[in-house]
Amino acid sequence: MATPVKVYGPPLSTAVCRVVACLLEKDVEFQLISLNMAKGDHKKPDFLKIQPFGQVPAFQDEKISLFESRAICRYVCENYPEKGNKGLFGTNPLAKASIDQWLEAEGQSFNPPSSALVFQLALAPRMNIKQDEGVIKQNEEKLAKVLDVYEKRLGESRFLAGDEFSLADLSHLPNAHYLVNATDRGEILTSRDNVGRWWGEISNRDSWKKVVDMQKQQHSP
């Protein structure tokens, strides 16, 4: 039996969850090694060897260590093509290009404003950091424009890249989950018909429900 792959990082980190969701979709056994970022585990020399930017997650299997959550997800799909959800990154070059395009769009257009909002609305209060109303407003407007594009796209297509759930949809789960469940701005997603329908579908996948359970266990004594 193959050794489980290792993922380093706290279960509450959005980028860590992106990787965990992908591993669950692909049915790849993994071990989550939590890091205490409050204690600076992620800036220690041993960790910097596998992640020179001192961020989470990092990933290791028998062959290699990797960082950047979307690179890890692509690698998992390429390296385990026959496991779990075989179509997660497409089963032919054209499907893959289409998924890649929307995965890039997620990283470039959806991620920046949604991350900023998650930080300002969900994390800053918990860390006793003052919220910046200007930043909140600016990123709400940016995100609204992006979601207008998604609304149109998802009226023509069941999922972002086509008729099947893909890595492109999966990549949105962590930030969208926080927006809907940990802030009062969730309706930015749920009030748009097609985006709301899509969010309902992707957040109900077994793999994502398992990630949410894993996060909840962090809070129990």
Partner 1 sequence: MAGIKVHGSVFSTATQRVFASLYEKELEYELVPVDMKAGEHKKEAFLSLNPFGQVPVLEHGDQKLFESRAITQYIAQEFPDKGTQLTCPGKPIAPLLVWKEVEALQFDPPSSKLNWELVYKPMFGMTTDPAAVEENEAKLAKILDVYEARLSQSKYLACDSFTLVDLHHLPNINLLLGTPVKKLFDARPHVSAWAADITSRPAWAKVLALLKH
Q: What would the two tokens of residue 188 be?
A: 């930015």
Closest distance of CB 213 from partner 1, Å: 28
Closer Cβ to partner 1, 114 or 215, answer by number? 114
Q: How far apart are CA 49 and CA 63, in angstroms?
A: 16
Closest distance of CB 75 from partner 1, Å: 5
Summarize as ranges the residues that interact with partner 1 (CB under 8 A): 52-53, 63-64, 66-68, 70-72, 74-75, 78, 93-94, 97-98, 100-101, 103-105, 107-109, 112, 146, 149, 152-153
175 in Cβ contact with 169 (< 8 Å): no
Closest distance of CB 104 from partner 1, Å: 4
Kindly report the number of other CB atoms within 10 A of residue 203's CB atom: 17
Q: Residue 162 gets which letter from DSSP?
A: S
Q: To 5 degrees, how large is the angle CA 23–CA 203–CA 211?
A: 40
Closest distance of CB 103 from partner 1, Å: 8
Whether residue 57 has a cis bond before it, omega within 30° of 0: yes
Closer Cβ to partner 1, 91 or 101, answer by number? 101
Closer Cβ to partner 1, 113 or 215, answer by number? 113
